[in-house]
Amino acid sequence: MKKVFVIDTSVLVHDPGALQAFEDNDIVIPLAVVEEIDGHKKRQDEVGRNARLISKFLDNLRNKGQIEAGVSLGERRGILRVELNDGEIEKLPSALDRTCNDNRIIAVAYALQKELNFRVVLVTKDINMRIKANALKIDAEDYETDKINIEEVYSGTTVLKVDPGEIDHFYNKNELFLTNNIYNLYPNEMVIMEDSSGGSKSALARYKTDGKVMPLQYGNQDTFSLKPRNKEQRFAIELLLDDEIKLVTLIGKAGTGKTLLALAAGLQKVVECSAYRRLLVSRPIVPLGKDLGYLPGDVKEKIRPWMQPIYDNLEFLFSNRDKEQKIDHLINSLIQMNMMELEALTYIRGRSIPNQFIIIDEAQNLSPHEVKTVITRAGEGTKIVLTGDPYQIDHPYLDSNSNGLTYLVEKLKNEKLAGHITLNKGERSELAELGARCLN
């Protein structure tokens, strides 16, 4: 049955391609949404960019016909129109602020529901808008085109029960063939082989796309004086130090070592091995009410509070190696020698970054579109590592199912150039592990 979708601003700034995602159903853009888009377009971040893209898209449609009457989105697509009528707002409960754009958008859906024979659905990523709409008996849904079920996200590891003779063969020959990949393993998936007869034999391995599981090549070695403390960290090191894998994703709760491992591998590859020209570390700025402009000083001074967790990890790594040197001096020396760069993610857009080891920390605060933007910055010889915890999201319109990190893990699990590990065991301290485990 054909539907009419009323689209909220939150959907359009999340995914500027959303208007092409509703098949042959009609789309209504309330005038209040156009007004909000106009208010966002001067922002110098992803939201501003997406607002400008939507404005251009609507302007192109305007040139094809009267947008308030409806313009076709193309073959096998519906009609898009900008709706002027929010008069039904006066009939909404008095508790709702009549001047609030969210409520004016709800009023448009309310009016259309009364006058049309089609099912009218308000699509918004704003939870409170969905609650208010449902209270008014208006169908309201999240934008789920890019959603991934967090409970089913690829973990990067699997346990195989195998004959003990196969484990012996693996150790003797340094490989084991899996006929026709009967276990449906993904490229670069880590394998824990256990004795199917209940014995104590076991082995850690990595699956290759040619049907073989191979011993870990890098996972047992120290990385910039950092020793892996559990098998998951060994798996992570295996992916981080393999230059053939160009994209690594690490997911884990606080204290599992995802950022520390990534930094150790980056420093190892840049400082010790000279495999990459520079280590570039970045984080998304999610200011929760204020942006960089409210902080004093130049760009580096503004960024420092947001990058402090990175400095903390760097200090730990350098203190492990050289207790005599001043840590700040070592870090600043690498920056001055152009071997390391700490950058806000805002400034990566538009760049082409060749031959660098890039770490994007707190990547769960990125949308799928922003993750695509980051990945497409990679030049020849560059490796990108994204780390984050999908259960700790600060972005108002993202959750554990819709963030760019989990989206990326699922979309690239079949690719030879990519590898992923979910870290579960906290190693920061007993107290940190207790807090992460018990204080949900």
Q: What is the CATH number of the domain that holds 379?
A: 3.40.50.300
Instruction: Quote the domain boundaries for residue 88.
Output: 3-141
Give the CATH number for residue 115: 3.40.50.1010
Is residue 54 one of the residues assigned to a domain?
yes
Higher pLDDT, 440 or 40: 40
193 in any annotated domain: no
Residue 255 and residue 373 in one domain: yes
Residues 425, 317 share a domain: yes
The lowest-confidence range among 15-24, 66-75, 295-304, 420-429 is 295-304
Q: Does residue 256 sit within a domain? A: yes
Using the predicted structure, report yes or no on whether residue 6 has a pLDDT greater than 50: yes
List, in order, residues 6 or more apart from 89 with CB less than 8 Å away: 96, 98, 103, 104, 107
Residue 307 lies in a domain: yes
Question: Is residue 155 in some structural domain?
Answer: no
What are the tens digits of pLDDT across the range 259-285? 999 999 999 999 999 999 999 999 887
The count of domains in the chain is 2
CB 190 within 8 A of CB 421: yes
Least confident of 177-186, 207-216, 421-430: 177-186
Residue 166 counted as domain residue: no
Domain-ending residue, one of 123, 141, 159: 141
Of 114-118, 221-225, 303-307, the poorest mean pLDDT is in 303-307
Q: Which of 175, 247, 237, 250 is nearest to 415 (CA)?
A: 247
Last residue of a domain, one of 121, 141, 161: 141
Segment 296-335, tens digit of pLDDT: 556 566 677 778 889 899 988 988 776 666 777 888 899 9
- 8-17, 80-89, 117-126, 231-240: which has the minimum mean pLDDT? 80-89
**Which pLDDT score, from 0 to 100, does residue 4 have?**
95
Do 417 and 277 sit in the same domain of this protein?
yes
Mean pLDDT computed over every residue of the chain = 89
The pLDDT value recorded for residue 285 is: 74
User: So what's the pLDDT on residue 290?
Assistant: 42
Q: Which of these three, 113, 141, 169, is where a domain ends?
A: 141
Q: What is the largest CA-CA distance in the chain?
A: 79
**In a domain? residue 154:** no
**Nearest CA-CA partner of 359 in 425, 295, 254, 270:** 270
